[in-house]
Amino acid sequence: MKVLVAVKRVIDYNVKVRVKPDNSDVDLNNVKMAMNPFCEIAIEEAVRLKEKGVATEIVVVSIGPKVAQEQIRTSLALGADRGILIETEEKLESLTVAKLLKAVVDKEQPQLVILGKQSIDSDNNQTGQMLGALTGMAQGTFASEVVVEGDKVNVTREVDAGLRTVGLSLPAIVTTDLRLNEPRYASLPNIMKAKRKPLEVVSPADLGVEIKSTQTVLKVTPPAERSAGIKVADVAELVDKLKNEAKVL
């Protein structure tokens, strides 16, 4: 079966985030960018499905500026077969992203679509579910285990109360949580091979999707700073402070 994986180029998760002095946005100038960590887990899951003989082809799609080809190439080096970049310089909201992905789903007809549960920049946690609604597909969000059996997939989800497993008819959508797998690193030969794998570039207009924005970011500010407190010498002093100074015990 064909698996479609969506990946996003975001700020590297190790980079210290700074807000621009004019409070218009986060400063991304000269900042290291990388694949969203949850998307790496999505690619890894697709590759494992292919290694098990469940998946036959892995198509990776990204939406963003031309440089997002880097993240597609990384995905190809990790084991995806071909890539699609929907090239746009505009900052997109989740509904538009979901509509663009729906256009790709309509064309590619994958049996499984795997996405990260959220991107670590906007922290929205929306796109996979929106794509589910637009395509009419069932969804297994925040997945920690994915088992394909015939025309069904069982997805174990990390929920607030523990773990819950849902059974979905294929085609279906999976969004990844942290413990689904541990992504591998790309080997040098595979990085070389990835350069020759096909990568198609299309525009939102090619897919017939109009870019619409309904949200305006009025300002972006740094969070309230929490100042470091004091060091206590021992447990006795700690308990004394909690009881008599902070009064929380």
Partner 1 sequence: MTILVIAEHDNAALNAATLNVVAAAKEIGGDIEILVAGEACAAVAEAAAKIDGISKVVVADSAAYKYQIAEAMGDLVAELGAGYSHILAAATTTGKDFMPRTAALLDVNMISDIVAVESADTFVRPIYAGNAIATVQSSDSIKVITVRGTGFDAASAEGGSAAIEANATDKTSATSAFVSEELAKSDRPDLTAAEIVISGGRGMGNGENFEILYKVADKIGAAVGASRAAVDAGFVPNDMQVGQTGKIVAPALYIAVGISGAIQHLAGMKESKVIVAINKDEEAPIFQVADYGLVADLFDAVPELEKLL
What's the closest the beta carbon of residue 21 comes to partner 1, in angstroms? Answer: 13
Looking at 83-91, 189-197, 198-206, 208-216, which segment touches partner 1 (CB under 8 A)?
Answer: 208-216
Q: Please report where in the chains the tokens 């210290």 appear, as a residue.
A: 16
**Site residues for partner 1, window 28-87 (CB under 8 A)?**
none
In the three-class reduction of DSSP (H, G, I as helix; E, B as strand; rest coil), residue 202 is classed as strand
Q: Which of 129, 130, 157, 123 has its CA nearest to residue 38?
A: 123
Q: Are 156 and 163 within 8 A, CB to CB?
A: yes
Closest separation in Å from C-beta 170 to partner 1:
9
Single residue of 29, 30, 214, 244 touching partner 1 by CB under 8 A: 214
Q: Least distance (Å) from partner 1 to the CB of residue 35?
A: 16
Which residue, 52 or 226, is less far from partner 1 as judged by CB?
226
Q: What is the Cα–Cα distance from 207 to 193, expressed in whole angstroms?
A: 29
- Residues of this chain, 221-240, that bind partner 1 according to CB under 8 A: 221-223, 226, 228-232, 234-236, 238-239
| Strand (E) or helix (H) holding 237 | helix 235-240
Binding residues among 85-124 for partner 1 as defined by CB under 8 A: 93-95, 98, 117-118, 120-124
For residue 161, list its beta bridge partners.
none
Q: Which of residues 137-196 bind partner 1 (CB under 8 A)?
A: 137-139, 141-142, 144, 154, 157-169, 172, 177-179
Minimum separation from the CB atom of position 183 to partner 1 (A): 13
Helix (H) or strand (E) holding 108: helix 94-108
Give the separation between CA 89 and CA 248, rounded to whole angstroms. Answer: 50
